[in-house]
Amino acid sequence: MTPRTYFLDGEEVDVLDLKTLLITRGISVPDEIVAHFGQTHRLAPTSHPFACNCLLLPGRIPAHMFHIGPAADFSLAVNQAGRPCLTYRGAVVTEVDFPPATSFYEQRTSRGFPFQMMAVLQGLDVVSFPYLWPCQFALGGSPCQFCYQGNITLAMKQAGQPLPPNPSPEDVAEAVEHCVRNENIHDVQLTGGSEVDAGRGELALATKVLAAIGRRVGLESVPGEIYLYTSAPKDPAAVDEVFAAGADRVAYDLNIWDERIFETVCPGIARHIGRAQQLRAVEYAATKHGPNKVCSAFVIGLEPVESLLAGAEYVAQRGVVPLFSIWMPHHRPVLGSTAAPGLDYYRRARRGFLDLFQKYKLKPPGASGLNVCMCRDLVTHCTDT
């Protein structure tokens, strides 16, 4: 499928370029757009602290909407047909859409825990639990520079503020049950903060969550997959318990392949886990559980494209799916900069990842795309990019 093309500042761009630009540059979401479409679509006010808004580009490609105010090059407007459209410096680029309205964020568990404090809906069909427990490295003063949740945790600790309560496994299971019964959910994504010994911490907690989902709704009731993002454990075999408990995939995120940059940007992970332990965990899980059962996210835009693709090929050769997660520069500087690379960088990276998917017969998770990750978009919309 050949994506449609558009012209911005005289440069031809395709729909995946548009997604990249929206994620890396941000957008203005006027209040009148939220008022116009917020009742019929999944579109929260920009002041909402837990909003995870996305728009749908042509081809139903989701793109995260990070509101940076009226100075943004990209904005939203309503055309004469009453349809939402994306504009660039005041000129209409294309019509867009939003996911349908949901009552998800209004729900609470039976013990009163708000859904919006533990989960977000991503794209069209994924419920994501992005921070089920706090990151020990952030609490110790060493969060990854690009990590929003970790840096918020550190800021709260430094300000002497109490951290938000953690949901219980039963809370998570109730939210999953709601999604299975009331939302068009395909996949469940579980993530917690990094811990020094993931085997005794993160993986043990995830196993309890999976057991609770199994008791309450049945793992087989999830239409797609349940995948867990976790740190690499000291004992690589510790991952076996979460596969046995029902996880369909596990992701050990390498984030950055260039070790010098990795040590600077991810100081806690580099110091307490390290690249050697990460690779042992990745290779064990891939060998034991087979191709496409393990993933590893790379934060796209933080290292030279050559080292990025070298890292992606290293894991792809072992049957591990490299994930294309685009850096969002809006949260805070990384390596002292909030400037994302140019489109040529992302185009080279896209071609490289797609080649790896095809060469090694790799299948990214998901039935449709995610707000920031571009793997499914590459496979579905970019076979000739």
Q: What is the DSSP string of 272-318?
A: HTHHHHHHHHHHHHHHHH-TTSEEEEEEETSS-HHHHHHHHHHHHTT
DSSP letter at 183? S
Tokens in use for 159? Answer: 């300000």
User: To 5 degrees, how large is the angle CA 208–CA 246–CA 120?
Assistant: 70
Q: What is the DSSP string of 238-269?
A: GGHHHHHHT-SEEE---B-SSHHHHHHHSHHH
pLDDT score recorded for residue 385: 41
- With a CB cutoff of 8 Å and minimum separation 6, the contacts of 47 are none
- With a CB cutoff of 8 Å and minimum separation 6, the contacts of 385 are 3, 14, 16, 347, 350, 351, 354, 378
- With a CB cutoff of 8 Å and minimum separation 6, the contacts of 381 are 1, 3, 15, 16, 59, 61
Handedness of CA 287, 289, 291, 293 (dihedral sign): negative
Q: What are phi and psi of 180, to 5 degrees?
A: -65, -35
**Residues lower than pLDDT 50 in the chain:** 1-2, 384-385
pLDDT, tens only, 180-216: 999 999 999 999 999 999 999 999 999 999 999 999 9
Q: What are phi and psi of 22, to 5 degrees?
A: -65, -40
**In the block, residue with structure tokens 């449709």:** 368
Tokens in use for 153? Answer: 């945790």
pLDDT score recorded for residue 2: 45
How far apart are the C-alpha atoms of 284 and 289, rounded to whole Å?
A: 8
> What's at 297, amino acid-wise?
A
**In the block, residue with structure tokens 């920031």:** 372
> What's at 319, amino acid-wise?
G
* 3-state percent breakdown (helix, strand, coil) of the chain, nearest 5: 40, 20, 45
DSSP letter at 60? T
pLDDT, tens only, 375-385: 999 998 865 44
User: To 5 degrees, how large is the angle CA 323–CA 325–CA 329?
Assistant: 160
Handedness of CA 129, 132, 138, 142 (dihedral sign): negative
Closest C-alpha to 124, from 149, 103, 95, 102: 102
Q: What are phi and psi of 325, to 5 degrees?
A: -105, 110
Q: Are β-strands 84-88 and 126-129 bridged in parallel, bridged antiparallel, or unpaired?
A: unpaired
How far apart are the C-alpha atoms of 63 and 45, rounded to whole Å?
A: 17
Q: What is the DSSP string of 79-142?
A: -TTS-EEEEETTEEEEE-B-PBP-SGGG-B-TT--BGGGT-EEETTTEEEE--SS--HHHHTT-
